Structure 1
Amino acid sequence: MAVSYNKLWKLLVDKKMSKSDLRKKAEIAPNTMTKLRRDEEVSLTILSKICKTLHVDFGDIVEYVPDAEIWDLYNENRELLGKDHVRGEQLPIDGYHLVVHVWIRNSKGEYLISQRSANRPTYPLMWECVGGSVVKGEDSLLGAIREAKEEVGVDLMPENGQVLFTKTRKIIEGKIFNDIMDVWLFEYDGEVDLGNATTDEVAQVAWMNREQIKELFEHNIFVETLEYFFMEVDK
């Protein structure tokens, strides 16, 4: 877990109080103040002292900050550059990251399709396959298996998957996209229970055949960048 005390420092500015003043009034040890300045965790007792001194609540002085997602960077030839990249920051012009699309098919020829949650920043409530970015230290296969578990709660077996094709994407609509996309196909006939997912990225799932997926496309409720499905996945 990561925390930030930026709210506390802004509050001190508003109250025209120095950090030294706070330390003395709240009777906080110097080493504890150092932890606060470094955004390190401190005890609830300390936070309570600060709240009492400033007449505020916990939420006014501290906030949770999600851990940043880190990617490995590759060159255009898929060779590791030995550099890390923080998700959300601008990619360097010569740096690429790995992305996986994971199509899951049962023995009936149906595909496991998921609807994005309403709180997703892009394509909310649109339908798609499992997918996402490969994180630092993973290869494409591990990334595909992790994404399936996180999004739809499915445990895929490595031996049941294959890469159908790979595509390198550079600049799209004037924006540096820079990813190397592996499109996976896994055979799976096991249980699907969203309760086993480890994130809330997906609202619901359904097994669909080609015609049902095509209908979603025609009604503009399937992510349009996945139109390759009809030519490269379900040929």
Structure 2
Amino acid sequence: MAEIWDLYDAERRRTGKTMMRGEPVPRGFYTLSVSVWLTNGRGEYLLSKRHPAKKFPNLWECTGGGALAGEESLEAGVREVREELGIVLRPGEGRLIYRTRRDEFRDFYDVWLFRHDAPLSSLTLQPEEVTEARWASRGEIKRLRAAGLLHPLLDYIDGIII
């Protein structure tokens, strides 16, 4: 099923216009993208490995994606985690840790943090999106990035996670 995304103006106001996922974002408009970091009681972060057929194949990342038409940022993040990892989060337990407008991608990008202690065996990975999941320490995330194995768009993590 095709995803429909809302279009926003440069001030992050919904315009009432929409677009289909995969189409170029029209000039002067933006979409909304979200990521969700999950951390456990040991201070580790849940990473998932991107499917080899996706852009940035086989790289580790936190869960995320585009907000569907009508969705708010937090709602989109909770949905993405449920779809890709099978984890049901309580929206009230999330905390917004980063927000920016990325002109090069024509999107607004929000990053949420949740505490969640899920054993890996309890995850249900969405096969067309995720091939593996793992808990990683800050040091492991830093080493993955240094080795070129972390999604390059996670460059904001300095000072937030690492």
Q: Distance in 1 between matches of 2:88 and 2:120?
A: 9
Q: Is 1:124 matched with 2:51?
A: no
Given the alignment, which residue of 30, 42, 50 partners 1:108?
42
- Which has the higher relative contact order, 1 or 2, with Cα contacts under 8 A spaced 6 or more apart? 2
- CA separation in 1, counterparts of 2:122 and 2:51? 12
Relative to structure 1, the CA distance from residue 201 to residue 147 in structure 2 (aligned partners, 3 Å threshold; closer, same or farther) is: same
User: Hey, what's the Cα distance between the residues in 2 that align with 1:203 and 1:98?
Assistant: 25
Aligned match for 1:201, one of 119, 124, 129: 129
Name whichever structure is richer in strand by fraction: 2
Q: Are the counterparts in 2 of residues 152 and 197 from structure 1 also a CA contact under 8 Å?
A: yes
Structure 2 Cα separation of the partners of residues 194 and 225 of structure 1: 28
Aligned to 2:10, the other structure's residue is in SS state coil
Deviation at 1:180, TM superposition (A): 0.3
Q: 1:189/1:195 Cα in 2 relative to 1: closer, same or farther (>3 Å)?
A: closer
The answer to whether the 8 A contact 1:85-1:91 is kept is: yes
- 1:28 match: none
Name the structure 2 match of 1:135: 68
How has the CA–CA distance of structure 1 residues 193 and 201 changed in structure 2, closer, same or farther, with 3 Å as cutoff?
farther
2:6, 2:65 → 1: CA distance? Answer: 14
TM-score for the superposition, normalised by structure 1: 0.65
Return closer, same or farther for 1:160/1:188 CA change in 2, 3 Å cut-off.
same
Count how many residue pairs are aligned between Structure 1 and Structure 2. 162
Identity of aligned residues (%): 38
Q: After TM superposition, give the deviation of residue 119 of structure 1 in Å.
A: 2.2
The 1-side partners of 2:127 and 2:79 are apart by 11
Select 1:190's aligned residue among 118, 130, 134: 118
Superposed CA deviations along residues 60-113 of structure 1, whole A, max 9, x for unmatched, are xxxxxxx22100111111111001111121212221111001111111110000
Q: Measure how far apart 1:197 and its partner are.
A: 3.7
User: Can you list the C-alpha shifts for 1:162-189, whole angstroms capped at 9, x where unaligned?
Assistant: 111210011x3xxxx2100001111111
- Output the CA distance in 2 between the equivalents of 1:193 and 1:85: 37
| Aligned equivalents of 2:8, 2:122: Cα separation in 1 | 33
**TM-aligned CA distance change 1:219 to 1:213, over 3 Å:** same
1:179-229 CA distance string (max 9 Å, x none):
000011111113444763445311100000100011111111111121221
> Any stretches of 5+ residues in structure 1 without a counterpart?
1-66
Normalised by the length of structure 2, the TM-score is 0.93
2:6 corresponds, among 72, 88, 93, to 72
Supply the AA of the counterpart residue of 1:185: L
Deviations 1:99-134 (A, max 9, x none): 0011111111100001111222x1111111111100
**Partner-residue secondary structure (3-state), 2:113:** strand
Question: Contact 1:71–1:86 at 8 Å: present in 2 too?
Answer: yes
| Change beyond 3 A, Cα 1:193–1:155 | farther
The root-mean-square deviation of aligned C-alpha atoms, in Å, is: 1.6
- Cα 1:210–1:74, aligned 2, differ >3 Å: closer, same or farther? same
Q: After TM superposition, what 4+ stretches of structure 1 lie above 2 angstroms from structure 2? A: 190-200
